[in-house]
Amino acid sequence: MLSNETLKFLKELSKNNNKEWFEKNRKRYENAQTEIKSFIEEWIKSYGKKDESIAHLDPKKCIFRINRDVRFSANKAPYKNNLGAYLNKGGKGNNTAGFYLHIEPDNCFFGAGNYQPMPDELAKIRQEIDYNFSDFKMIINNKKFKDNFSELSTENKLKRPPKGYEETNEAIEFLKLKGFTVFKKFTNDELTSKDFIKTITELSVTVKPLVDFLNAATE
């Protein structure tokens, strides 16, 4: 399970985001990495029983680096204030839909879907939704899906229909999306509870039909 010590480390890092402090606390960071790797390994093992495309993943390759790329950013803080991992078909080097865990004090959440599909992938997903809107609606209107995620994120949604689609299209509000994701937030206590591996596995199973739909569209 994930511990409060990892959250404490991240909270202190957000107030001391510099190389000198980080090096003094490197052992704490390494402990956090070990803890998260073990958790991701359990998540892969647990959810992998339901999804063969995830079962083979190497947990070390699913975890994002804590170092920030500051080359083109006004924010020159060298480290992220969070830790995260992404499970997806083919590994996180592939731009396929999958499952994300974000670990940050007072801002922990689970996400799933395809966050930023490339233009050609976006076009294929829109086409799939247009052609198979009844199947898509069945997925996002499933009671368990709605109870956990409510609805798809509308971040960066277009104000006008994308090229090739009319405002009268019954799927138009979904075709305007530029990403296809859902999110569920957790408290610090929920994240560090002994039942969290069960919780995140059940969420992964619940959202699997959406992930499968998105991946089928881009294959």
| Residue-wise pLDDT tens digits, 71-130 | 888 888 999 999 999 999 977 778 899 999 999 999 999 999 999 999 999 999 999 999
Max CA pair span of the chain: 60
Report how far residue 100's alpha carbon sits from residue 104's, in angstroms, rounded to the nearest whole number.
13
CATH value of 4-218 in 2.60.98, 3.90.1530, 2.60.40, 3.30.930: 3.30.930
Please tell me the predicted confidence (pLDDT) of residue 154. 96
Please tell me the predicted confidence (pLDDT) of residue 71. 82
Query: What 3-state DSSP class applies to 216?
Result: helix
- What is the DSSP secondary structure assignment for residue 161, as one 8-state letter? P
Report how far residue 125's alpha carbon sits from residue 116's, in angstroms, rounded to the nearest whole number.
12
Q: What is the mean pLDDT of residues 168-191?
A: 97
Please tell me the predicted confidence (pLDDT) of residue 56. 94
Angle at which helix 26-48 crosses helix 196-218, to 10 degrees, equals: 70
How much of the chain, in percent, has pLDDT values that exceed 90? 90
Report how far residue 101's alpha carbon sits from residue 190's, in angstroms, rounded to the nearest whole number.
13
Report how far residue 184's alpha carbon sits from residue 171's, in angstroms, rounded to the nearest whole number.
24
Report how far residue 165's alpha carbon sits from residue 175's, in angstroms, rounded to the nearest whole number.
8
Strand partners, 164: none
What is the amino acid identity at position 98?
G
Check if the beta carbon of residue 69 is closer than 8 Å to that of residue 52.
no
Strand partners, 183: 111
Report how far residue 96's alpha carbon sits from residue 113's, in angstroms, rounded to the nearest whole number.
8
Query: What 3-state DSSP class applies to 173?
Result: helix
Rounded mean pLDDT of the chain? 95
Check if the beta carbon of residue 208 is closer than 8 Å to that of residue 152.
no
Please tell me the predicted confidence (pLDDT) of residue 73. 82
Tell me the domain boundaries of the chain: 4-218
